[in-house]
Amino acid sequence: MKNYINVENGKNLDLLKIAATSIQNGNLILMPTETVYGLGADGLNENAVKKIFEAKGRKQDNPLILHISDMKMLDTIACNISQLEKTLMEKFWPGPLTIILNRKKIVPDIVTGGLDTVGVRMPSNLVANKIIALSSTPIAAPSANISGRPSGTNIDDISDELSQKVETIVDDGMCDIGLESTVIRVVNNSVIILRPGKITKEDLEKYCDDVIVDKHILNKLDDNVKVLSPGMKYRHYAPNAKCILVYSDNNTKLIEKICEISKEYISPVIISTSENVNAYKNNTKVKNILDIGHRKNLDEISKNIFTYLRKVDTYLPDIVIIEGVKKEGLGLAIMNRLLRACEYNIIEV
Ligand code: TXA
Ligand code: MG
């Protein structure tokens, strides 16, 4: 890393031109967005985008999202935009919604994994918007993490794995949302959710009568099944330790089950909601009980998830037991990430 710029609380914004220069010179940056940090490069420069795949160890068939700062930029990369897509852009952009659109030829194959579509989003984070605008090019940016690892929601979590691979780091503190954007595709007049996020099924239903949650969001893929979004195929968000997800509609049963499982192991870690921390303290010998946030405040939980999935490994646990939440609203996105972190190892009681 050559340049480190701290823009927390709106300071040093004039230094963002350094980040834009890195982009224009075909180099990589770490940049904030409202969802998670991105590993950014000039999305129209094939050689620059290649560096993203190398730095992450990412499979070539897994396409990248292009980040834009205004609607003029959209015109340069996507075409045949439908009325429903336009409405969703109006309602949710700038913000954590990625829409899969028909691509224009200018978008290099390496960005789209050879598909005839391109994922586009306009971030609401002001720093992100400014970097893109100053760069005058769409920025290709996957989540900032080595492939398979939990996404990065603050610079501290990811500097070990990525700082040596980028020219500029833009540090804007903790990301507001903490989970990656909702990814959708419009087919005829239906919206298909390919990756759940802060923009929920219920939010989208206000503008479309038919919102479908792709079945792969909560179910393991069979080998060789064809998917609408290549990212669904890959192991993701996983700590090194073995993890198990436990869910029940009944909180007493949930606590009992987690206490029972914890007794089968020597060095378990529990990721608990705030409400249940004391129950585990009083009823188990587990030393490391991490409080992920209040069950009633899913925003708090989503903001903490990736940091905690990274932190658990520092305790060298033989099992990580994670409390699940209801798969409704933002809970669907939380459970999608947790299921994948646990490699679909879930007990429901
Ligand atoms: O919030 C986010 O979306 C973050 C920030 C940095 O913007 N980015 C992010 O990118 O999460 P990434 O690359 O980690 O995840 C993008 C997902 C992948 O699952 C990929 O397969 C899917 O979007 N995707 C991208 N382009 C696609 C396309 N043309 N068709 C289908 N799926 C696509
Ligand atoms: Mg990712």
Q: Tens of pLDDT along 212-257?
A: 999 988 888 777 778 888 887 777 788 889 999 999 999 999 999 9
SS3 per residue for 199-237: CCHHHHHCCCCCEEECHHHCCCCCCCCCCCCHHHHCCCC
Atom of ligand 1 at shortest range from CA of 141 = 6
Distance in Å, CA 11 to ligand 2 centroid:
28
pLDDT digits (tens, 9 = 90+) for 321-338: 999 999 999 999 999 999
**Residue 148 CB less than 6 A away from ligand 1:** no
Return the pLDDT at 321. Answer: 98
Over range 105-111, report the average pLDDT: 97
- Residue with CA closest to ligand 1 atom 32: 229
Which residue stretches of the chain are H helix? 16-24, 46-56, 71-77, 83-92, 109-112, 126-135, 155-162, 201-205, 251-262, 277-283, 298-311, 330-341
**Residue 98 CB less than 6 A away from ligand 1:** yes
Residue 111 has pLDDT above 90, yes or no: yes
Q: At what angle do helices 16-24 and 126-135 cross, to 10 degrees?
A: 50
Distance in Å, CA 63 to ligand 1 centroid:
7
Distance in Å, CA 48 to ligand 1 centroid:
17
Over range 61-65, report the average pLDDT: 96
Pairing of strands 78-79, 97-103: antiparallel
Return the pLDDT at 225. Answer: 77
**Residue 38 CB less than 6 A away from ligand 1:** yes
Distance in Å, CA 181 to ligand 1 centroid:
8
Q: Ligand 1 test: best mutation among 143, 227, 232, most atoms within 8 Å of CB?
A: 143
Q: What is the model's pTM?
A: 0.96
Distance in Å, CA 294 to ligand 1 centroid:
28
Residue 78 has pLDDT above 90, yes or no: yes
Residue 112 has pLDDT above 90, yes or no: yes
Return the pLDDT at 91. Answer: 98
Q: How far apart are CA 155 and CA 166, in angstroms?
A: 12
pLDDT digits (tens, 9 = 90+) for 168-188: 999 999 999 999 999 999 999
Share of the chain above pLDDT 70, in %: 100
